[in-house]
Amino acid sequence: MVADPSPALVELLRQLDRAAGRTESEASFADGHDRWSLYRAAMDAPGALPPLFEAVSLEPDGPLASGVVGEVLERVPAGEREPWVRILDPSVRAFSERRARELGVLESLRQGAVPAEGIGDLVDGWSDWLQLRAVRAAADTAVLRVVSRKGRTRKIRQAAVEALRPPK
């Protein structure tokens, strides 16, 4: 059973509601679905990340907080990811830690900073999510060739093969 949000969190959620440009409601924010909806709106609102960070740090529902952080990690620069991961309870932190590392790999692939000869050893340790994203992000066709052979699923291997084909 997840505890109701604290009064401090409720006040932050009301502030976040305003920062996200939503009409402030008299909701208690006791429902996790309502909080998720607010968090999602705040992710896209300019200037709402600071109050979102504070609210997530007080979020009593660990999986909900983890879901928010997982989404935010893709929206913030690499240097800002670590604090988001650290605000999570250690019991729900593993997913976000991995996602932050995977996003770093993707950025390196986009920049061509991962040598193709090292990819063969790395690809087996990548999640399906990372393998599929790597196909879209890789600047080096040698990386695509490795993923086309070593991708974990047929879908991933096929996506790499298709990415290797010259445009029509």
Report H helices in the chain.
Answer: 7-19, 32-43, 49-58, 62-73, 81-86, 94-110, 116-122, 128-137, 141-150, 154-164
On the 0-12 / 13-18 / 19+ scale of CB atoms within 10 A, 43 is middle
Q: Please check the confidence at residue 113 and state whether its pLDDT lies above 90.
A: no
Say how far apart CA 30 and CA 152 lie, in whole Å. Answer: 41
pTM: 0.85
> For the segment 124-148, what is each residue's pLDDT rounded down to a tens digit?
999 999 999 999 988 788 889 999 9
> For the segment 79-94, what is each residue's pLDDT rounded down to a tens digit?
999 999 999 999 999 9
Q: DSSP state, 79?
A: G
